[in-house]
Amino acid sequence: MCSPWSKEAGELFSSMASSWKPRNVPMSQALKDLIAMLWEEGAEVYLLGGGVLARDCGKIPPYYNLLVEVGDFKAIKKALFEYGVVPVSTPDLPAEYIRFVYQERVYSALNMSLADYLERNVLGQRLQLLPLAHNFLVEDPSRRRVMDPYGALSESGNQQHADTIKLIRQPDSVVTGLEVCLAVAFDTALLGLKAPARFGAMERSVLGTVISTKSDSLLVFHRMLSYLPDLLEVRGWPSVRRYLRAPLCVSAAGGDPGIDLRQVEASLERVARRGQAITGAHLFAAINRQFEPRSQVAGAGLPDFLASRQLPVRRKDLLAKVLVEKDPLAEV
């Protein structure tokens, strides 16, 4: 059961639920066919987030987030596999979630009722959505309507800023600020959207912050570890190097983790000078080396630190490469 709503949360939930407006968002044939198959299996299907905004601007996003409302999700999974999707392993995610590839696009599907999804959006209990307007978009393709509580979509006929991300409010903490900066970096690269107005000033302010508390340093470092490998894959080494040099990240790494990002950068620059592409495994290995002097097990400094702080590892695949396979920095 959810905790009792505040008056403000209840009013916001009612506002979201009543904000449907007619909208026939363009859809690829592959997406139409997949949704039609899910309808035939008795599921209600909604599309969520940035993919809705991208498609509304005439772009074809590389991924789609679906909300699938159905009683027997196992049957839906079986039907999807028989339909020909390629499943993506997600062992750390709950049973009501599935990720798969279909027609060269990545799909993430969550089995949840629309009412529960909206409720958790409002209360921020499990689906911690960042203050970007397109994160709250819900498209109902069966009724050709869209829920857009924060005006992410442009009005019909006004395409001047149609593909610009809208920031609902300024981040309420440096950690949220970092998450917003990373989200904008991903959405501009992957969805072809434009950064919010005056985003550059906000980003400089966030990345220029010097962390002074142990708790914030740990939270910022964990976000770096979780998402910089993805940023490296999406936007390349120059973008990640900018974060490694930012006062926010330098001070966070030097706080509770107690590591020197200048040494991490130096190791990765040597990889580049060797003519190799810098990968997430290189990044993890360079960070792991900073922890090794404190580890009781050779080569296991980073996982020891994360375990001691009870922090989950998002990119376990990269950590496994560092610990089990040959050290990618062995020749550096």
Q: Identify the structural domains of the chain with CATH numbers, from first to last.
A: 7-147 (3.30.460.10), 208-323 (no CATH)
d(CA 166, CA 243): 23
- The pLDDT assigned to 160 comes to 62
pLDDT (tens digit per residue) in 291-324: 876 555 555 688 888 888 999 888 888 888 777 7
Q: pLDDT under 50 in the chain at which residues?
A: 1-5, 125-127, 157, 332
User: Could you tell me if 119 and 13 are in contact, meaning their C-beta atoms sit under 8 angstroms apart?
Assistant: yes
pLDDT (tens digit per residue) in 214-234: 999 999 999 999 999 999 999
The CB-based long-range contact list for 327-330 (8 Å cut-off, 24+ gap) reads 327/285, 327/299, 328/271, 328/279, 328/281, 328/282, 328/285, 329/267, 329/271, 329/282, 329/285, 329/286, 329/289
Size of the chain in residues? 332
Q: Helix 7-17 and helix 114-123: axis angle, to 10°?
A: 140
- The pLDDT assigned to 48 comes to 96
pTM of the complete model:
0.88
Residue carrying structure tokens 């009013």: 11
Q: Is the dihedral of CA 144, 156, 199, 194 positive or negative?
A: positive
Residue carrying structure tokens 């990720």: 99
